[in-house]
Chain A
């Protein structure tokens, strides 16, 4: 037998797409899932098949993270396409989507191809690039959406920057709809967010920092949803941060608009007061907001208003973070803590496991038109094996990222990835004694 076969036995199999959750087994052949079910090996296992005993842990589709910044090209000292895939594998992520905010900006067919080629040759998980929606992220002229879509860009966004011009957003949505390309927006009105670095409220007053009001997010979200309605195009708000936005999105979905949204794991777990005494590792964009906002975001995940949970992995080195709060770069690494942090609302009883896993697998895969994120015959053999209850402590030094800017330093979390499989190959396996 030349094609590699692996049998995963003794697992709790969860497929959020079909809603299956129960004892099960999976057989992979080559790069694809060949069979799965409660008891597929009763007739014996073919000779030469590798057997993996899952030890009763959860085996689910590999996680898909649709919001990952890398340093390559341009800032390889912060993260390379190689190192980012190593973090992803350790976090149970089998497919990651890179953002175009690099140097140079990914706004051209050749650069889309560069990212894909580089990730394929150096990386250990699947990487799909998002390309810039506007040339040079300048927010003035649209990019070659059609050609870059054909070259493999899965969505179009200006990443950290909002597409501020209403007429440009309208034309982008309209133009992209011809290619069924997804436009992803950083929902923040730039003129209201100017110089802001924390939520506008008690925290901005106490710390004496310029604040960003939650309406900065709400108004651009409302505007974009109206434009999505006008154009009939698909639209995705990358990260919501406030209760107000969750309500707006809930209404839009009830109206039947083809729109979706995400939230970062950090925004589900932290609020503005965690910033404490100017801890720049908690300077995020959008900013962490009030506890009521955090709770509303969890509620949004629980009732399906929020479609996807992302890491918003944004590696920043000491030089960019050891600065006065206002001058420090925004962003936090998050690939390796994504699963454990996303599981917190489940452990705390606010939502069920299937809902959390759906937002980490099949939901982002569907939005981006990817084949993965589900356990089905013929689907890619991308799998994550994890122990949902096992406790561990986040230690920055143990992270695989070249940058250690985690907002979860020393946090006690539950749920750890023990094996990550991409295209039938195990790309990460945790030693029994190894923590994180």
Chain B
């Protein structure tokens, strides 16, 4: 247990958590170990800690979110921080303030931790350059969503013992998915093999350069995999621009028992949520208690975010751990 003030058993030199890209396998492993210790805390009746007492955490969401925002909020509150949620609606952005100005404004309020989601890739990194406090990327455009990849990894690790050697299929809208990118980086770093399964219109150019195997046909892509990660298909992509229709998408790219039968018999089903039942995943499959770990992913989310807040707060000035 590292929450009670002992030095972490690994080095985590990063001030911010902007992406998985920047992390080494050791850092990811250490982060997951720490997160593991928070799972039990979140199951206790008294969940309140005072690790972050007196600290201010701002959740700055330029894009609406339910689960990620509440997950960060719970994680912060359970560690004792004062959490402020700021949802910057599009209308507020239209008032004309630039991202840099928003950062300067926030910085003047002296937050200790800043959690940011933004619709543009790279926006969180840009913002972090102007902030004096640690910044956590809660999803930026189609770039990264590091805490999602970490919670997915924690879910898999708790079920399968380790990530190395597993064959993982990430299926759906890869092109627009920050979840897919973070997961690809993480799984590759940890020694898993990654397949990407998507219609050609939803596969990014030169995706094979990310170190994955590409599949267009889901039946081929799912053959003998240990883990099936489904991605959400955004409404606006469904009607003719990238795929012709919901029914065609479900027919060829939706996860049903027929396609799932090609995966390993004990293959786990994951989804970052929110699900479109009947679009990318069959309802029955999503609810299959033997296979689907979708609800478990949500639980791991809080633990992972607790661990991230814990870890980054150790770099804060005036911290007991700071020499």
Contact = CB atoms under 8 A, between A and B. Distances in A.
- Decide whether A and B are members of one complex: yes
Interface of A: 134-135, 140-147, 171, 174-175, 177-178, 231
A146 B248 CA distance: 7
Given A135-B240, A171-B241, A144 B201 contact: no
B252 A142 contact: no
With a 10 A CB-CB cut-off, give which of B200, B217, B241, B243 has the most chain A CB atoms. B200
B239 interface: yes
B247 interface: yes
B10 interface: no
A255 to B, nearest CB: 20
With a 10 A CB-CB cut-off, give which of A135, A178, A231 has the most chain B CB atoms. A178
B200 A147 contact: no
Nearest to A138: B240
Contacts of B239: 141
Given A171-B201, A177-B200, A231-B200, A141 B247 contact: no
A175 B252 contact: no
Contact of B199 (A140, A175, A231): A175
B257 interface: no
B200 A143 contact: no
Contacts of A135: 240, 244
Contacts of B217: 178
Contacts of A231: 200
Given A141-B244, A143-B240, A175-B243, 7 more contacts: A144-B248, A146-B251, A174-B201, A175-B200, A177-B200, A178-B200, A231-B200
Given A140-B240, A141-B239, A146 B200 contact: no
A178 B253 CA distance: 12
B216 interface: yes
A144 B199 contact: no
B97 to A, nearest CB: 32
A174 B244 contact: no
Contacts of B65: none
Contacts of B200: 174-175, 177-178, 231
Nearest to A232: B200
Interface in B237-288: 239-245, 247-248, 251-252
A134 B239 CA distance: 11
A147 B199 contact: no
Contacts of B199: 175, 178
A61 to B, nearest CB: 32
Contacts of A174: 200-201
B241 A147 contact: no
B94 to A, nearest CB: 27
A78 B200 CA distance: 40
Nearest to A170: B201
A146 B240 contact: no
Nearest to A176: B200
B281 to A, nearest CB: 18
With a 10 A CB-CB cut-off, give which of B201, B216, B245, B247 has the most chain A CB atoms. B201
A147 B247 contact: yes
Nearest to B243: A175
Contacts of B248: 144-147
Given A147-B251, A171-B201, A177-B200, A142 B244 contact: yes
A144 B243 CA distance: 8
Contacts of A145: 244, 248
Contacts of A142: 240-241, 243-244
Contact of A141 (B201, B240, B252): B240
Nearest to B200: A174
Nearest to A177: B200
Contacts of B216: 177-178
Given A178-B216, A178-B217, A143 B244 contact: yes
A144 B200 CA distance: 15
Given A177-B200, A178-B200, A178-B216, A171 B242 contact: yes
A177 B242 CA distance: 13
Nearest to B239: A141
B166 to A, nearest CB: 26
Nearest to B242: A171
A171 B251 CA distance: 19
Contacts of B240: 134-135, 140-143
Contacts of A144: 244-245, 247-248
Contacts of B244: 135, 141-147, 175
A395 to B, nearest CB: 46
A90 B166 CA distance: 63
Given A171-B241, A175-B243, A178-B216, A146 B201 contact: no
A140 B251 CA distance: 22
A175 B251 contact: no
7 contacts: A141-B240, A141-B241, A141-B244, A142-B240, A143-B240, A144-B244, A146-B248
Nearest to B240: A141
Contacts of A175: 199-201, 242-244
Q: Which 7 A-B pairs have the closest CB atoms?
A: A141-B240, A174-B200, A144-B248, A178-B216, A144-B244, A175-B201, A171-B201
Nearest to B245: A144
B251 to A, nearest CB: 6
A184 to B, nearest CB: 17
A297 B38 CA distance: 74
A142 B242 CA distance: 8
A146 B252 contact: yes
With a 10 A CB-CB cut-off, give which of B241, B242, B244 has the most chain A CB atoms. B244
A171 B200 CA distance: 8
A241 B251 CA distance: 40
Nearest to A231: B200
Contacts of A146: 244, 248, 251-252
A230 B247 CA distance: 28
With a 10 A CB-CB cut-off, give which of A140, A147, A175 has the most chain B CB atoms. A175
A8 B67 CA distance: 74
Contacts of B241: 141-142, 171
Interface string B170-207: 00000000000000000000000000000111000000
Nearest to A171: B201
B259 to A, nearest CB: 14
Interface string B229-243: 000000000011111
B208 to A, nearest CB: 13
A141 B240 CA distance: 4
A143 B244 CA distance: 5
A142 B201 CA distance: 11
Contacts of A147: 244, 247-248, 251
B211 to A, nearest CB: 21
A134 B201 CA distance: 15
A169 to B, nearest CB: 12
A140 B241 CA distance: 8
Contacts of A140: 240
A351 to B, nearest CB: 38
